[in-house]
Amino acid sequence: MRATFGLIGKTAMALVLATGALSIGATAAVAKEKEQKAAKAVNSPEFIKVAQALQKPVGDVMTSKDKAAATALIPQLEAAEGTVKTPLDRIIFGQWQQQIGTLVGNPALQQKGLQNMIDSGQLDAEKTALVTYYLGMTAYQNKDFATTTKVLGPLVAANYNDDSAAEVLADSYSQLGQNPQALDSLKGAVAARKAANGVVPDAWFKRANLIAYKNRLGPQAIEWSTLMVENDPTPINWLGAGQLVREFGTFTNQESLDLGRLLLRSGGFQNDPKYVEREYVEYIESADPRRLPGEVLKVAEMGVKAGVLKANDPFVLDAMTQAKSRIAPDKASLPALDREARAGKDGKSALAMADAYLSYDEAAKAEEMYKMAIEKGGVDKDRALTRLGIAQVDLDKFEDAKASFAQVGGVRAPLARLWSAFAATQARP
């Protein structure tokens, strides 16, 4: 379904026409990019002869706003088109087409007029940009997506000031089945806006996410959702980004656990209960009360307090009961396990110890153990690096965390990229 954008209004276009009004027989060129190259602009004899009969009627209907009279002029305009010979002929004729087309609600005629105004070469740079914008938007209304992409592409790449241009350009590419080009055009728009130190509208990221998701472009959906939370780290954006990373990833319980940890810290759980109930359940299942009882109890109690989970729900009740019975003996075993981890020849015991410390919010001890596990080896390095970064985030060591996340590869790479975005948002003043 084609996206809906606002119809082209008359006000700005009227300003263009009012400030650049031309009449038959004018001799000065409007557009002079370089004075030495400006040629004398004149009307052709053929056009003058036909147009003299049209000039007053066109002016009268534009003053009276008489749609019936304006409609009656369309056949005369069509008959006069063959007399257009010079640039000055073309811009005057194009203005008439655009004015009459707008008045009677004929976007096809309006598009022809705008194209003639551009093709005349008689507009200065500022007015060329504005008329080009209207041409692209009118072509979009006419479902002429090829013209829309052709004319709006350079405009958007040059950081045009109307935010809707970038969205219309991207949607036009998408309507043509050129979804990668749609996303590339939005990426270019973002880069141009940032280069100009401007504000990138959140709607651009949402448009890109919609295109990527609908067309099952997994890597692009992950990329754009990550860019969106970097630009606007709201709870709903974090939730959406996390869900996209999981949907297009190949997650085991271990990756789901670290995603739950991200949603917890980023505020992703602070959304409508109907959107986050699944996330709480995924987190509790991934953490598993038999392995990380302290973390399971913390998350389950948080879900109950938030009104997302019900304490008497069989799943929640069982998880909390198991967790409560295991926490004391689990904590009592930590000192011996710590000694074992330090004495181990490989990093497996250190990784298990680090996981336990992280689950009990002992970030400093977890950081030490993850580093030890990586140094000794024999472990899933990407998993260890991800959780090393999480511990460093908890310690407010955001630059260290980003350095750790940057080393993560494999199936965890998109998740680590999202964690790195979170670290960056937390490091902002």
Are residues 55 and 20 located together in one domain of the fold? yes
In a domain, 404, yes or no: yes
Are residues 92 and 27 located together in one domain of the fold? yes
Are residues 178 and 92 located together in one domain of the fold? no
Q: How far is Cα 161 from Cα 187, in angstroms, rounded to an integer?
A: 16
Are residues 291 and 339 located together in one domain of the fold? no
Helix pair 145-157, 164-175: axis angle to 10 deg? 140
Q: Which of 143, 172, 205 is where one domain is finished? A: 143
> What pLDDT was estimated at residue 166?
97
| More confident position, 353 or 38 | 353
The SS3 call for residue 92 is helix
Are residues 133 and 29 located together in one domain of the fold? yes
Q: Of all helices (H) and strands (E), which one includes residue 131? A: helix 125-141
In a domain, 148, yes or no: no
* Residue 15 φ/ψ, nearest 5 degrees: -65, -40
Are residues 32 and 87 located together in one domain of the fold? yes
Are residues 315 and 339 located together in one domain of the fold? no
For residue 210, give the nearest of 167, 154, 162, 263 by alpha carbon: 167
> What pLDDT was estimated at residue 182?
98
| Region 283-293 average pLDDT | 97
In a domain, 153, yes or no: no
Are residues 139 and 1 located together in one domain of the fold? yes
Question: What does each C-alpha distance from 320 to 148, 163, 286, 300 come to in angstroms?
Answer: 58, 49, 14, 7
Q: In angstroms, how far apart are the furthest CA atoms of the chain?
A: 102
Q: Which of 217, 250, 283 is where one domain is finished? A: 250
Helix pair 398-406, 381-394: axis angle to 10 deg? 170
Cα-atom radius of gyration of the chain, to the nearest Å? Answer: 31
Are residues 245 and 256 located together in one domain of the fold? no
Interior/surface letters 267-276, b for 16+ CB within 10 angstroms, e for the rest: bbbebeeebb
> What pLDDT was estimated at residue 428?
82
Model confidence, pTM: 0.81
Asked whether 183 and 211 are in contact (CB, 8 A), the reply is: yes
Using the predicted structure, report yes or no on whether residue 215 has a pLDDT greater than 90. yes
315-364: per-residue pLDDT in tens?
999 999 999 999 999 999 999 999 999 999 999 999 999 999 999 999 99
Are residues 358 and 390 located together in one domain of the fold? yes
Number of domains in the chain: 4
Are residues 294 and 396 located together in one domain of the fold? no
**How many secondary structure helices (H) and strands (E) does the chain include?**
22, 0
Using the predicted structure, report yes or no on whether residue 239 has a pLDDT greater than 70. yes
In a domain, 49, yes or no: yes
CATH code of 220's domain: 1.25.40.10
Question: What does each C-alpha distance from 78 to 53, 72, 90, 112, 370 come to in angstroms?
Answer: 14, 11, 13, 11, 77
379-415: per-residue pLDDT in tens?
999 999 999 999 999 999 999 999 999 999 999 999 9
In a domain, 134, yes or no: yes
| Region 232-257 average pLDDT | 95
> What pLDDT was estimated at residue 33?
42
The total of other beta-carbon atoms located within 10 Å of residue 373's CB is 30
> What pLDDT was estimated at residue 58?
93
In a domain, 24, yes or no: yes
Q: Which of 101, 116, 143 is where one domain is finished? A: 143
Please give the angle made by the CA atoms of 129, 133 and 135, to the nearest 5 degrees: 115
Interior/surface letters 45-73, b for 16+ CB within 10 angstroms, e for the rest: eebeebbeebeeebeebbeeeeeebbeeb
To the nearest 10°, the Cα dihedral for 369, 375, 377, 381?
70
| Region 359-376 average pLDDT | 98
In a domain, 82, yes or no: yes
pLDDT range class, residue 40, cuts 50, 70, 90: low
The total of other beta-carbon atoms located within 10 Å of residue 258's CB is 21
Name the residue with tokens 């067309």. Answer: 215
Using the predicted structure, report yes or no on whether residue 424 has a pLDDT greater than 70. yes
Are residues 12 and 94 located together in one domain of the fold? yes
For residue 168, the enclosing domain spans: 160-250
